[in-house]
């Protein structure tokens, strides 16, 4: 019995001294630019009883510095859970979602962060959320970043799918042909049936190739608990273009627009569905909406407007213009937040590509 007590005490003393040493070594490695070692040590630290917001955030930064976006995202989620009032983990999550073109995920995280952070930090969340919803990362920058993430972690499912979707949207010489993209997505979905991004990308590729029956099968297998605007978006397309059920298409496309009002493609398909139903006035309104959205969200025009407003957010007029912009594309809650925001924002800028 005495031996057991002594052994337990020795183990306790060793354990207590181990965690500060691990943290110190992890911090030192990060300062030396050895992010792999820093990430490994922080992972070990966070597997123990001393895990906290700061240690999870440090692990996330080490992961992102290596280009391991998926690992970084998981650590950012842990950091946000432990201290929701810190805006930094929310902001970095929104940056990742912007690069990977994940507006539905950005909406969920953006509003959760907005509600959790102190009022003075809300403006930063609104800025990141506005950019994630209304702007698209330039193709060259997005591809370079996604390729770096995939090279750093071949198991990063979201980065791989986002890169494949880039190839589908803007094909280049050397890109995988559609048949190879479909084969890759089929294989990924078979291993990750819970992945909504993979499922949506595969449905889009199959529909574009004319394989409507297979696309419908993939849609039908969409997990019921995860049938959000992305499901409605794809269900509307298949109902309109292949099943020839415009009434069903109109129903689900309208529902998709409640979450994604800025998506002109959804409006375009809704206009076609309404026209097929003989609802000419409403169809014309949706067609006009398509033109208006494409004009408002034109990259060059939008960039100038955002640069002017975001560069001087202390001016009420700048925030009012952002509110008007968000309302004009259908994001009323975002517009209301910009109008009501009266706090002082941090000027911190996070670069998820930099080591």
Residue 232: CATH number of its domain? 1.25.40.10
291 in the same domain as 194: yes
What's the length of the chain? 355
* Residues in contact with 117: Cβ distance below 8 Å, sequence separation at least 6, in sequence order: 84, 85, 86, 87, 90, 125
Query: Beta-strand (E) ranges in the chain?
Result: none
* 3-class SS of residue 16: helix
Number of domains forming the structure of the chain: 3
**What integer pLDDT is reported at residue 5 of this predicted model?**
41
304 in the same domain as 208: no
172 in the same domain as 193: yes
229 in the same domain as 314: no
**What integer pLDDT is reported at residue 19 of this predicted model?**
83
From residue 313, give the alpha-carbon distance in Å to each of 22, 27, 62, 317.
41, 35, 31, 8
Written as tens digits, the pLDDT of the chain (355 aa) is: 433 444 444 434 445 568 889 999 999 999 999 999 999 999 999 999 999 999 999 999 999 999 999 999 999 999 999 999 999 999 999 999 999 999 999 999 999 999 999 999 999 999 999 999 999 999 999 999 999 999 999 999 999 999 999 999 999 999 999 999 999 999 999 999 999 999 999 999 999 999 999 999 999 999 999 999 999 999 999 999 999 999 999 999 999 999 999 999 999 999 999 999 999 999 999 999 999 999 999 999 999 999 999 999 999 999 999 999 999 999 999 999 999 875 445 544 444 543 3
268 in the same domain as 158: yes
Going by C-alpha positions, the residue among 201, 284, 217, 210 that lies closest to residue 241 is 210
Return the axis-axis angle of helices 87-99 and 119-134, rounded to nearest 10°.
Answer: 0
Query: Is residue 347 included in any domain, yes or no?
Result: no
**What integer pLDDT is reported at residue 15 of this predicted model?**
58
Kindly give the residue spans of alpha helices, DSSP state H, lying in 32-138.
35-46, 53-65, 69-82, 87-99, 103-116, 119-134
**What integer pLDDT is reported at residue 341 of this predicted model?**
73
Are 59 and 41 in contact by the 8 Å Cβ rule? The answer is: no
197 in the same domain as 173: yes
**What integer pLDDT is reported at residue 248 of this predicted model?**
97
Q: Among positive and negative, which fits the CA dihedral 255, 258, 261, 263? A: negative
117 in the same domain as 47: no
**What integer pLDDT is reported at residue 200 of this predicted model?**
98
Q: Which residue range(s) make up the domain with 268?
A: 153-296
203 in the same domain as 115: no
330 in the same domain as 230: no
290 in the same domain as 178: yes
């Amino acid at each position: 019995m005495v031996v057991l007590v002594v052994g337990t005490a020795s183990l306790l003393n060793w354990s207590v001294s181990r965690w500060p040493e691990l943290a110190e070594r992890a911090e030192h490695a990060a300062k030396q630019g050895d992010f792999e070692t820093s990430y490994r040590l922080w992972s070990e630290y966070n597997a123990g009883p001393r895990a906290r917001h700061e240690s999870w955030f440090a692990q996330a930064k080490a992961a992102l510095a290596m280009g391991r976006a998926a690992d970084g995202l998981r650590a950012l989620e842990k950091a946000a859970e432990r201290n929701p009032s810190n805006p930094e983990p929310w902001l970095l999550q929104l940056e990742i979602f912007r690069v990977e073109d994940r507006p539905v995920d950005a909406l969920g995280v953006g509003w959760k962060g907005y509600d959790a952070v102190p009022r003075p930090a809300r403006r930063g969340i609104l800025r990141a959320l506005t950019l994630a919803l209304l702007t698209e990362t330039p193709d060259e920058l997005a591809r370079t970043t996604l390729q770096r993430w995939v090279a750093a972690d071949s198991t990063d499912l979201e980065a791989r799918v986002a890169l494949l979707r880039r190839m589908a949207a803007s094909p280049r010489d050397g890109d995988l042909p559609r048949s190879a993209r479909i084969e890759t997505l089929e294989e990924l979905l078979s291993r990750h049936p819970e992945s909504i991004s993979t499922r949506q990308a595969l449905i889009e590729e199959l529909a574009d190739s004319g394989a409507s029956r297979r696309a419908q099968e993939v849609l039908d297998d969409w997990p019921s608990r995860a049938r959000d605007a992305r499901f409605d978006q794809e269900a509307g397309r298949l109902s309109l273009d292949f099943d020839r059920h415009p009434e069903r298409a109109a129903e689900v496309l309208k529902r998709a627009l409640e979450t994604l009002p800025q998506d002109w493609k959804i409006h375009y398909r809704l206009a076609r569905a309404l026209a097929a139903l003989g609802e000419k006035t409403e169809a014309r309104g949706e067609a006009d909406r398509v033109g208006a959205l494409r004009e408002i969200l034109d990259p060059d025009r939008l960039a100038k407007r955002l640069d002017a407003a975001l560069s001087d957010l202390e001016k009420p007029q700048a925030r009012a213009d952002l509110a008007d912009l968000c309302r004009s594309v259908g994001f009323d809650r975002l517009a209301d937040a910009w109008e009501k925001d009266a706090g002082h924002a941090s000027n911190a800028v996070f670069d998820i590509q930099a080591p």
